[in-house]
Amino acid sequence: MSNGKDGHPIVPEPGAKVDIRQYDPGNTRGVEKEQALADIGPLRLRLNELQNLLYADERFAMLIVLQGIDTAGKDSTINSVFQEVGPIGCRVESFKVPTPEELSHDYLWRYRKVTPMKGHITIFNRSHYESVLVERVKNIVPREVWEKRYDDINEWEKYLVRNGTVVMKFFLVISKDEQRERLQERVDDPKKQWKFRLGDLEDRKLWDEYVEAYSDAITHTNTKQAPWHVVPSNKKWYRDIVVATAVVEKLESLGLRYPPAEEGVVGLKVE
């Protein structure tokens, strides 16, 4: 298991049982705030360069999955890490309550249709994992249904990877106390009150059930081809540097290259 030192996420061994309660959401693993804030700017710029290179190369796509208990910081992670990335070739897909059209298809349909094309990055703000999380915790579907979905998800992600899509999955882990503070901030700040629902308090009562569901989901879907990256996220600055570092390093590992110039272009003098 990667220990998350030096701004890297924690990557559990595939097949190992995961209990997210074993991760300290406030542990920044030796990373200092001042250094993280100094490093995040160049990482954002590098991510923009790599996204442009990915777009030109057109051999790979990247799907980034962000999951976490409510208030874990999915929106703010996207806003921070990708703030320098242009909109051409990068988009965010958020998933709310399924529409009647979506409910008339299989549960993966609405996710399959918005996966990234070659050269593009797509970020799932929540994702197909809701089908083994919310639908499990709230008893929307019975156990015999959601249990089979682990295999469905693994096979689908394996298919994506085999066809050139890099799948990066991040679980943002926060403490229950940190969630309380963030919920209270939403209540107290007029600019954030629109984010708060009374139902959030009902979900908070199900904290232990969600922890168990997330632990099982990570355990059963942490595969070699699409591993989970666990990110301690009580400290937003640490969360951002970890996610940015992981995405940049993965893109750099792909051997991306610009296509060769059309014959006759090199040395051409434009009049």
Element (H, E) at 124: strand 121-125
Spell out the domain ranges in the chain: 11-252
pLDDT class of 49 with cuts at 50, 70, 90: very high
Span 239-263, pLDDT tens digits = 999 999 999 999 999 999 999 988 8
Task: Please choose, from the candidates 26, 25, 29, 35, the residue with its C-alpha nearest in 3D space to the C-alpha of residue 2.
Answer: 29
pTM over 0.85: yes
Laid out side by side, the sheet with 228-232 consists of 2-3, 10-11, 228-232, 165-173, 61-67, 121-125, 90-94
Span 206-250, pLDDT tens digits = 999 999 999 999 999 999 999 999 999 999 999 999 999 999 999
Span 61-113, pLDDT tens digits = 999 999 999 999 999 999 999 999 999 999 999 998 899 999 999 999 999 99
CATH placement of domain 11-252: 3.40.50.300
pLDDT class of 35 with cuts at 50, 70, 90: very high
Inter-residue contact 232 to 27 (CB < 8 Å): yes
